[in-house]
Amino acid sequence: MTADIITTFPKVKLMQNEPLSNYTNTKTGGKADFLAFPVSLAEVQELVIYANKQGLPVTVIGNASNLIVKDGGIRGLVMILTSMNHVEVKDNEILAESGASLIEVTKVAQRASLTGLEFAAGIPGSVGGAVFMNAGAYGGEISMVADSVTVLTPQATLKTIQRDELDFGYRHSRVQDEGDIVITATFKLQSGNATEIQAKMDDLNARRAAKQPLDLPSCGSVFKRPTGYFAGKLIHDAGLQGYQFGGAQVSTKHAGFIVNVDHATASDYLAVIQHVQGTVLTQAGVQLETEVRIIGEDPV
Ligand SMILES: Cc1cc2nc3c(=O)[nH]c(=O)nc-3n(C[C@H](O)[C@H](O)[C@H](O)COP(=O)(O)OP(=O)(O)OC[C@H]3O[C@@H](n4cnc5c(N)ncnc54)[C@H](O)[C@@H]3O)c2cc1C
């Protein structure tokens, strides 16, 4: 392990042994050996080339709203891309940098009277994380609006991928398989009426606020929807709402969420996830798969 990276990149905001709990939406997670906040493609590219030469693994994080970082932390270089957040409108298209807030992009679309992204008005991820996850809600998903994506490959070459090559599926995109870093995304929208777009976004956000525990730290829906079932209903029916281990609790408001109610650790989250999976499997015979991405190392 080398701290040379800090002296090699004097202009990049770089930290050593930084707790990722300062950045994750659950407020849990271990330390990154090195945490960088690049502000441009050039910086990301130079960091990846350097890390490859030094044999440092590279991990990219967006808004950390769908993430559990284990308490042992992440070895190598972690990059948070939220400083790369430029968004621009060109005719019916929006070009957004990967670190831009998806919610901010929906506001830009509304102001430009562009319709199609309203479903994302309350999804608290970054553009890169949303493409990676093919985030969706209320009948919409990123695959319906993403036109093309530029990525940096693990070998640090820039590549543009068109929509039909992105292999979108339920909470899946090709980015997950290739280890690419999303740099920008272009969304193709339709012209609409700004007042109607705002009304739809307000309605979806009100529905979200009524059902989800938005006042507590969480990572959204923890489990994928199993074919033929709803994860939340299975968890509710298994009597698991309110189940708590350490500081992590199955939300009493929405059974699909696990909330940090009292200084939870990532290990608390993982214990609750395991308990929920085991109980639902025993009681309903359904194996719940996690939607939330679990990364990093177990504590020693
Ligand atoms: C209250 C709440 C409500 C939510 N509601 C929804 C919902 O309705 N629908 C939904 O789909 N999700 C929802 N989520 C989950 C989450 O917001 C989405 O999955 C979002 O798309 C994740 O984006 P992110 O930037 O936070 O990604 P992160 O959590 O930072 O990362 C998720 C994964 O994407 C990867 N990644 C992030 N950025 C990049 C990049 N630039 N290049 C390559 N890989 C990258 C990470 O390595 C990680 O594996 C919710 C979460 C919360 C907390």
Taking only the tens place, the pLDDT of each residue in 20-67 is: 999 999 999 999 999 999 999 999 999 999 999 999 999 999 999 999
265 pLDDT higher than 70: yes
- Residue to substitute in 25, 74, 123, 205 for testing ligand 1 pocket (most ligand atoms within 8 angstroms of CB): 123
Phi first, then psi: give them for residue 132, nearest 5 degrees: -55, -45
The CA-to-CA distance between both ends of the chain, in Å, stands at 18
pLDDT of residue 149: 98
Taking only the tens place, the pLDDT of each residue in 90-130 is: 999 999 999 999 999 999 999 999 999 999 999 999 999 99
Average pLDDT, integer, range 3-7:
88
Percentage of the chain beyond pLDDT 90 is 98
- Residue to substitute in 43, 66, 68 for testing ligand 1 pocket (most ligand atoms within 8 angstroms of CB): 66
pLDDT of residue 133: 98
| CB-facing half-sphere around the CA of 212: CA atoms within 13 A | 19
Taking only the tens place, the pLDDT of each residue in 190-225 is: 999 999 999 999 999 999 999 999 999 999 999 999
Average pLDDT, integer, range 241-266:
98
d(CA 226, CA 234): 10
Q: Pick from 285, 294, 286, 284: which is nearest to 272 by CA?
A: 294
Ligand 1 center–CA 218 separation, angstroms: 12
CB of 232 shorter than 6 A to ligand 1: no
pLDDT of residue 2: 59
3 pLDDT higher than 70: no
pLDDT of residue 291: 98
pLDDT of residue 103: 98
Ligand 1 center–CA 64 separation, angstroms: 6
1 pLDDT higher than 60: no
Average pLDDT, the chain: 97
Average pLDDT, integer, range 127-147:
98
Give the C-alpha distances (Å, rounded to integers) separating 296 from 26, 50, 284. Answer: 15, 21, 31
Annotated active-site positions, please?
171, 221, 291
Domains of the chain: residue spans and CATH:
4-80 (3.30.43.10), 87-211 (3.30.465.10), 231-295 (3.90.78.10)
**Strand order through the sheet with 248-250:** 244-245, 248-250, 258-260
Residue length of the chain: 300
Percentage of the chain beyond pLDDT 70 is 99
Q: Token pair of 109, please? A: 């679309």
